[in-house]
């Protein structure tokens, strides 16, 4: 069975601090996909990144970076020099490649508050 665990329920930082959001996943498949979504107070889920299980290369996009480690089943997300606009709930999600539906299994989310 698939499972995504985001152990950090809430994180509060001061603007310009770096912050890392943890994500640990479980799956029996060898081919799978990992995602991060952002949910601002408005409620709409915003796609941030997709990573497949064969590509462990870390990725950087502006102030965002992602660290995928298959050995520890983790897909952590770091925001560098955080800003107030980064305040949101962030969800990590998993999709198995062979299931057909590509349905997303989400973690419970981490609420990030960036204070000025």
Partner 1 sequence: DTGVSQDPRHKITKRGQNVTFRCDPISEHNRLYWYRQTLGQGPEFLTYFQNEAQLEKSRLLSDRFSAERPKGSFSTLEIQRTEQGDSAMYLCASSSTGTKFPYEQYFGPGTRLTVT
Name the site residues for partner 1 (rule: CB under 8 A). Answer: 4, 33, 37, 42-47, 50, 52, 91, 93, 95, 97, 100-109
Nearest to 106 by CA among 4, 19, 26: 4
Residue with Cβ nearer partner 1 (37 or 68): 37
Strands annotated E in 1-116: 3-5, 10-14, 19-21, 24-26, 32-39, 46-52, 59-61, 64-69, 74-79, 88-96, 105-106, 110-115
In the complex, the smallest distance separating the C-beta of residue 24 from partner 1, rounded to whole angstroms, is 14
Residue with Cβ nearer partner 1 (7 or 46): 46
Which helix (H) or strand (E) element contains residue 116? Answer: none
In the complex, the smallest distance separating the C-beta of residue 53 from partner 1, rounded to whole angstroms, is 11
**What's the token pair of residue 30?**
């060898």
In the complex, the smallest distance separating the C-beta of residue 50 from partner 1, rounded to whole angstroms, is 7
Residue with Cβ nearer partner 1 (27 or 107): 107
Residue with Cβ nearer partner 1 (47 or 81): 47
Residues in the chain: 116
């Amino acid at each position: 069975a698939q499972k995504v665990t985001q152990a950090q329920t809430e994180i509060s930082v001061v603007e310009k601090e770096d912050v890392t959001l943890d994500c640990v996943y479980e799956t029996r498949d060898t081919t799978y996909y990992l995602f991060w979504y952002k949910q601002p107070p408005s409620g709409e889920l915003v796609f941030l990144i997709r990573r497949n299980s064969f590509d462990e290369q870390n990725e950087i996009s502006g102030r965002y970076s992602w660290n995928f480690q298959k050995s520890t089943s983790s897909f952590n997300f770091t925001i560098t020099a955080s800003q107030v606009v980064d305040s949101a709930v962030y969800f990590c999600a998993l999709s198995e490649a062979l299931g057909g539906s590509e349905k997303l299994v989400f973690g419970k989310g981490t609420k990030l508050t960036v204070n000025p």
